Structure 1
Amino acid sequence: MRTEARFPKVPAEDGHYESFYLKAAAPEGGRAVWIRHTVHKRPGERPTGAVWMTWFDADRPGPVAAKHQVAADEISVPDKAYVRVDESEIAPGRVQGVINNGTSASWNLRFKDHGGPLHHFPAQWMYERPLPRTKLLSPHPSASFDGILDVAGERVTIEAWPGMVGHNWGSEHAESWIWIHGATVGEDGSRGYVDIGAGKAKLGPLTTPWIVNGEIVHRGERLRVGGLGRALRTRIDAEPTSCRFTVGGEDLVANGAVSAPRDRFVGWVYADPVGPEHHSLNCSIADLEVHVSRSGREDISIRVEGGASYEFGTRRTDHGVDVQPFPDG
């Protein structure tokens, strides 16, 4: 197991949130599924769980979304699984579940790995200590999915869809955040990806600059980008439906852009264990372009059309994206 659920060890008096999620996109672009399993715990209270699903189809007028929330007794960590929420379970190599709450959806998927895990933070202590308050890793940053998805009366056959499985947790969400993921398959069959997370943290009355951590994989080469030491040289121009970024690595600079039309985004309410809510805006059929300049080496250009994920987390409410009517927490 490349990661494990943290919520069973959280003291009763503490707050906590945790998420295991996946994204799988059609190789030709324009269709993708995003599934999320969460645990939310307010200080001194028992946790709640939820299963979230969004089906993105460029031929539809907008995303199809569903969510099912449950009490603590319906959350568990089965043997050889990451987490189970009611009838939905995510484990290494498989994901299955069902939602019958307004929009009906069910899925039975299997996935293969095409590389090792990605720990966005450079040091293990950052995952073990209270700070940073938000932890992020991708146990399966490069995967391919097969199986069946039934959503809103439509059956979708998923065959070799590239995607990923992620895991995050903490005592509170970042003040603002972005997450970008795009999977690539080369003409020679080589697998690659762009997996970048960035956040602004609240430190008393101050808010930090964007801090980026991530990785670009191209033709088997893993290129780390970001880090606390490069924060002042990082540029992030993030808006609700688009982002341009410049981030450095060892002897490299990556410039990129990700975007999608507003009507292809889904909006969700994300609750913190303590404090006000965020809106999380997500599109998993976005367009992504990245250009990597390397000192003394050939440049790299990456493009994902209609199959990249862009998530924008914010306290803003003027973003113009329809927010789903489901409460959180």
Structure 2
Amino acid sequence: MAGTRVDEPASQLELARLRANHSRYRPGQETGHYESFFLRANHANRSLAFWIRYTIFSPTGRPEAALGELWAVYFDGESGRHVAVKKEVPFSQCTFKTSEFFAEVDDARLEPGTLRGSAASGGHSLSWDLTFSGDAKPLFM
């Protein structure tokens, strides 16, 4: 439409919302980078919860040392038993898309409406195959 400016605040906000869950990482960048995508949930009526995080860690000046990290924590407030696991893999075994919401660390995947995977460490293991839905826009503060 003639006269509509792309840099209008409302247009910029919509564009930011569309890109909110896209990765900002560029493989090979020298500046260092840390970025996480996670999902957490609490049971509506019980003291149970989980937190699962897909992370990029690339140290400053050493992009060849970049890692993908997969963290998972299960909280059981009823029994007091909590399980935490972490898996690290070379970034070559990961995919974090800059054009859409998609994170993959080894064989664990997070994308719109779905997350699945598994991790083990310290004698514990967790696995998940979850779906979710919602149409709320990202909230910027």
Aligned residue number for residue 192 of structure 1: none
Report Cα offsets for 1:49-69 as digits up to 9, x if no partner: 110011011122342111101
Higher helix residue share: 2
Q: Equivalents in 2 of 1:80, 1:90: separation in Å?
A: 11
The residue type equivalent to 1:4 in the other structure is H
Indicate how the Cα distance of structure 1 residues 53 and 83 shifts in structure 2: closer, same or farther if over 3 A, else same.
same
Asked if 2 retains the 8 angstrom alpha-carbon contact of 1:80 and 1:92, the reply is no
Please, what TM-score do these two structures have when normalized by structure 1?
Answer: 0.34
Aligned residue number for residue 34 of structure 1: 51
Q: Cα distance, 1:114 vs. partner?
A: 4.3
Which one of the candidate residues 95, 100, 103 is aligned to 1:76?
95
Q: Equivalents in 1 of 2:48, 2:118: separation in Å?
A: 20
Asked if 1 retains the 8 angstrom alpha-carbon contact of 2:23 and 2:101, the reply is no
Higher strand residue share: 1
Please, what TM-score do these two structures have when normalized by structure 2?
Answer: 0.75
Which one of the candidate residues 67, 78, 92 is aligned to 1:59?
78
Q: Equivalents in 1 of 2:42, 2:80: separation in Å?
A: 18
Asked if 2 retains the 8 angstrom alpha-carbon contact of 1:81 and 1:89, the reply is no
SS at match of 1:112: coil
Asked if 1 retains the 8 angstrom alpha-carbon contact of 2:33 and 2:59, the reply is yes
SS at match of 1:73: helix
Q: Equivalents in 2 of 1:52, 1:3: separation in Å?
A: 18
Q: Equivalents in 2 of 1:61, 1:28: separation in Å?
A: 16
Total equivalences in the alignment: 119
**Residues 124-203 of structure 1 mapped to structure 2, 5 A cutoff:** none
Q: Cα distance, 1:31 vs. partner?
A: 0.4
Indicate how the Cα distance of structure 1 residues 80 and 16 shifts in structure 2: closer, same or farther if over 3 A, else same.
closer
Q: Cα distance, 1:113 vs. partner?
A: 0.6
Q: Cα distance, 1:73 vs. partner?
A: 1.0
Q: Equivalents in 1 of 2:136, 2:46: separation in Å?
A: 22
RMSD: 1.9
Q: Cα distance, 1:82 vs. partner?
A: 2.1
Aligned residue number for residue 246 of structure 1: none
The residue type equivalent to 1:84 in the other structure is E
SS at match of 1:119: coil
Q: Cα distance, 1:81 vs. partner?
A: 4.1
Which one of the candidate residues 116, 120, 124 is aligned to 1:96?
116
Q: Cα distance, 1:80 vs. partner?
A: 5.0
The residue type equivalent to 1:5 in the other structure is S
- Gaps of at least 5 residues in structure 2 are 1-17
Greater relative contact order (CA < 8 Å, ≥ 6 in sequence):
2
Indicate how the Cα distance of structure 1 residues 50 and 81 shifts in structure 2: closer, same or farther if over 3 A, else same.
same
The residue type equivalent to 2:78 in the other structure is D
SS at match of 1:17: strand
Asked if 1 retains the 8 angstrom alpha-carbon contact of 2:34 and 2:58, the reply is yes
SS at match of 1:113: coil
